[in-house]
Amino acid sequence: MNNSPEMRKEFEHKIAEITKCMKKKLDDKRYLHTLSVAYTAGCMAMRYGYDPYKAYLAGLLHDNAKCITHGKKLSLCAKFGLEISPVERENPDLLHARLGSFLAREKYEVEDEDIISAIAYHTTGKPDMTMLEKIIYISDYIEIHRKPLPNMEEIRTLAFSDIDACMLRILESTITYLTEKKADIDEITLETYDFYKKLL
Ligand code: DGI
Ligand code: FE
Ligand code: FE
């Protein structure tokens, strides 16, 4: 799809432009994480025959709303008419995914629906994810700057050998972590876990 020189040039330009925006919008740590997710997503795309430019761009944008304060996240969602679930109201950090996907379209002028939905579902996942949704969800978890999480070596290996098994391992780990923390678990996180549990 992006094989023509014109398309590649357009993508290169977009990537350069969004990289600059993210450096401005994110703190240093989040910016480093963002670049690392983008590179990891590009590599996973190469492994699974997906367009690496698209995967890189989605990685670059996935946390674009992360450094907005909780209060501002809530007010922006209200302003743009984005629904807020009770779990999201209690945990406004969860909103950075859906708000980020809205901003990717409206502010960063991304029209590609694959990228928009990969950003929207990068925190909770969703049942029966597309290739790009899985690539971003997994890259977010395995990128090299992430603090060492349980079973990381196995999960990193699975990312490049069995993508659905990798999804299930990450979901298991996340649900265990949230349960231990006594945090509210979003319905969609549980539905995603059930989906991949049944699939395998
Ligand atoms: O934005 P990042 O930190 O890079 O990563 P992320 O968007 O995956 O967010 C990670 C956090 O989201 C992590 O602490 C686990 C949490 N999370 C994932 N699913 C749920 C959740 N938190 C709650 N409260 N409920 C969920 O269902
Ligand atoms: Fe995130
Ligand atoms: Fe992230």
Given a cut of 70, whether residue 1 has pLDDT beyond it is no
pLDDT above 90 covers a percentage of the chain that reads 96
* Ion ligand 3 — residues with CB < 5 Å: 63, 140
Ligand 1 pocket, residue 51 CB under 6 Å: no
Does the pLDDT value for residue 2 go beyond 60? no
Average pLDDT over residues 83-95: 94
CA atoms within 13 A on the CB side of 113: 1
In terms of Cβ atoms closer than 10 Å to its own Cβ (0-12, 13-18, 19+), residue 189 is: buried
Return the closest-CA partner of residue 97 out of 44, 133, 71, 53.
133
Distance 49 CA to ligand 1 centre (A): 28
Q: pLDDT tens across 162-173, in order?
A: 999 999 999 999
Provide the pLDDT for residue 140.
98
Segment among 133-137, 146-150, 157-161 with least mean pLDDT: 146-150
Average pLDDT of the residues of the chain: 96
Ligand 1 atom nearest 140 alpha carbon: 4
pLDDT digits (tens, 9 = 90+) for 91-141: 999 999 999 999 999 999 999 999 999 999 999 999 999 999 999 999 999
Condensed to tens digits (0 to 9), the pLDDT of residues 43-69 reads 999 999 999 999 999 999 999 999 999
What is the rounded (10 degree) CA torsion for 150, 154, 156, 158? -130
CA of 137 to the centre of ligand 2 (A): 9
Separation between Cα atoms, residue 105 and residue 118, nearest integer Å: 12
Secondary structure letter of residue 51 according to DSSP: -
pLDDT of 148:
86
* Global model pTM greater than 0.85: yes
User: Would you say the CB of residue 143 lies under 6 angstroms from ligand 1?
Assistant: no
- Nearest alpha-carbon partner for 189 in 94, 78, 81: 94
Q: With a 6 A CB cut-off, is 63 part of the ligand 1 pocket?
A: yes
